[in-house]
Amino acid sequence: MTRLQSRMEKTVSRHEQQTQSASAEPLSLQPAPSPPPTSPDAGQDVNPAAAESCQHRCLGRCLIIPIEGMQSRRCERIINRMLKTRHKITGWASYAAGVVRIESTNVIPPLAELADTLAKRGYRLLYQDAWPCGHDDPTQPTAPCHDRVATKQKPGLINRLLPASISAAGAPLATVLVGGLLLAIGFVLRLTGQPMWAWIPPLAIAAVLTSLQTFPSAVRSLLNVTLDVDVLMFVAAAGATWLGHAEEGVFLLFLFGLGTAGEHMALGRARHAIEALRDVAPENARLIDDDGNERMIPAANVRIDDQLLVLPFERFPADGAVIAGRSAVDQAAITGESIPVEKDVGDIVFAGSINGDSQILFRATRPAGDSTLSRLIRLVEVAETEKSPAQQLTDRVERWYVPTVLALTIAVIVIPPLAWNESWSEWFYRAMAFLTAASPCAIAIGGPAAVLCGIARSARIGVLIKGGGPLETLGRVRAVCFDKTGTLTAGKPRVTNIVPLTETVTPDQALAWAASIEAETTHPLAAAIVTAARDRNLTIPDARDVRQITGMGAEGYINDDEITVGRLTEQLSARMTDAQAQEIADIAAQGRTIVCLTRNGEPLAVFGIADEPRPEAKETVAELRRQGMTHVSMLTGDRQAVAEAIAARLGIDRVYADLMPEDKLRAIEELSNEHETAMVGDGVNDAPALARADVGIAVGEPAPTSPWRLPMSF
């Protein structure tokens, strides 16, 4: 049993103990009655009975509630102030995740009252879709107030007609771009001395189109008696127009509208990535009933102790333990192990991992909704609701900046005329100039220019960056954590060593014979041997009667000789000299998988196979240290020996191996408490750590969950 399997058994045992201890407390969630169907505009309808039922069962839990109606990150601050000042609730909203997170501890959260208050401000709190997460361990088994069903909205007419690049953000981006075009037309008309009636209409229409997304946010701020940047921008635009520079005011609205549309685009793609993460698990499972009959059931209906059959190359629908069969299982998406793991009776399998070329019958040890993959998804969702210290600082600064600017503007208008009998009109003009200058124009105009230059320069060298936030944060990063498989390594096993065990066979002959047998099989290690032979342009002899032996390798005939390629057994090891055994032991100590070639039962050669580091990996680590990185670490689900061997070759001093996704998340959290941290990875199993890091970076050809969720991708 591997260390990874031992870790999983401990994790399962810990969760079972915690679940049993929690059973005596009124913390379990049962399905709450679903509210009656409502129309999309019925956001103000609140079902107090359903809310009360849900909130009582959520006592003492961290509660995550979906919310609709947030237009930008400024909406987060509006909702956060309502939670804190009006309802005395510890919690915060997340625009990226589209949820409100509430820490209800020992106080019953007034969900019905909160939902009613938010509805009056244009937000719809979907308390009936709430789900809890543990305070100390968000991976704890949880169940929503009722089944969380992903609903997909039908695209509107505009989205169907627009190009894909525009429809990803929908109408907001299209309207802002049209507004920008009209702004340019109006500016040119005024610049060329055209009459007022010619350039005012395009500027007026541009002002409306570019503020469709930001204007509702400003109105909500005023309704909540709060002043934010949206309000300040509209006041500044009005001031610029009063001073006779209408095109500058509209340009300001255009920049803010463009930024908001970009947020919508990133948000849509991020939520699509979450759905892609859920798609890693199959929708159906093959249930074997007590009579031995097979029938298909939804994977969501899998229960503990169900016996499930997985055919070759299918994905496992739930976590469980093998009760019959043997196969090599690709669980890289969950654990990050670069080479498929042989699974035999009693071994643990994970939902979402891919079966090899043999059938496996296993017993579910967790329901589908609480599999390792499901907990991984919850980790991502919870991580996205966390606020970094930088975000909290921004919230505090913006809260006081706008009122201060407006107060100073009023002071400029009132004090000089009253104190020194100055002209009211002159100081009003100066106050408007001050207001326009004090608005975030430098950030709105200079910031995007700097960001665009950085993004364009990065794109030319193959780096895609989502906005200026990651650029700014990356400049403060002092700790970098790498996933191993597919990030530091190529992600594909290859032959690294060929050790002939007899003088009658050369390395090329041994490789050609092994490739002849392995060309007829489907094991990933077989592909490495065949690829190595083809790279050397070797002549591969024809083999016959090739058959694959599950868990052992493959055998066949070349001419009249029986050739086998597979595991190095104790019987074969006993036939080697001490020098040969020591050489093979040294290869294995480097984290390589040993494959043995025999002819008529006699060992001919041994191959070392490993997922080798990328050629540029060592120089990358060295360059990071020269750039001031104080900590360079490796986080991997692979074996300790394999991880340490790779780390030693690359100059990485801190290695965390045998990690499950939640372990990677904890490691990132610990490092983030000490330094600004970047996480670099490419797999589904990296998703929680990538989401939690200060900067998440996807490398290579990332999983479908990665590229649009993360701030950066290579």
Q: Is 670 exposed, middle or buried (0-12, 13-18, 19+ CB in 10 A)?
A: exposed
Q: How far apart are CA 515 and CA 530, in angstroms?
A: 5
Contacts of residue 340, defined as CB under 8 A and 6 or more positions apart, other chains included, come to: 328, 329, 330, 331, 356, 523, 524, 525
Q: Is 163 exposed, middle or buried (0-12, 13-18, 19+ CB in 10 A)?
A: exposed
The answer to whether residues 593 and 565 touch, using CB atoms and an 8 Å cutoff, is: no
Q: Is 483 a catalytic residue?
A: yes
- Helix 447-460 with 246-278: angle, nearest 10 deg: 50
Catalytic site residue from 319, 347, 483, 638: 483
The answer to whether residues 572 and 603 touch, using CB atoms and an 8 Å cutoff, is: yes
Instruction: Extract the tokens encoding 651.
Output: 């100059």
Distance of CA 623 to the CA centre of its chain: 26
DSSP state of 139: T
DSSP state of 647: H
Q: How far apart are CA 167 and CA 90, in angstroms?
A: 37
Q: How far apart are CA 424 and CA 700, in angstroms?
A: 63
Contacts of residue 308, defined as CB under 8 A and 6 or more positions apart, other chains included, come to: 285, 286, 287, 288, 302, 316, 317, 318, 320, 361, 362, 363, 364
Contacts of residue 676, defined as CB under 8 A and 6 or more positions apart, other chains included, come to: 473, 476, 477, 478, 479, 694, 695
- Helix 196-210 with 171-191: angle, nearest 10 deg: 160
| Closest to 124 (Cα-Cα) out of 38, 240, 213 | 38
| Closest to 481 (Cα-Cα) out of 699, 255, 209, 186 | 699
The answer to whether residues 66 and 118 touch, using CB atoms and an 8 Å cutoff, is: no
By DSSP bridging, strand 676-681 and strand 695-698 are parallel
Instruction: Extract the tokens encoding 559.
Output: 């001419």
- Which residues are bridge partners to 482 per DSSP? 634, 680
The answer to whether residues 350 and 372 touch, using CB atoms and an 8 Å cutoff, is: yes
How is 551-563 classified by DSSP, letter by letter? TTEEEEEETTEEE
Phi, psi (5° rounding) for residue 268? -60, -40
The catalytic residues are: 483
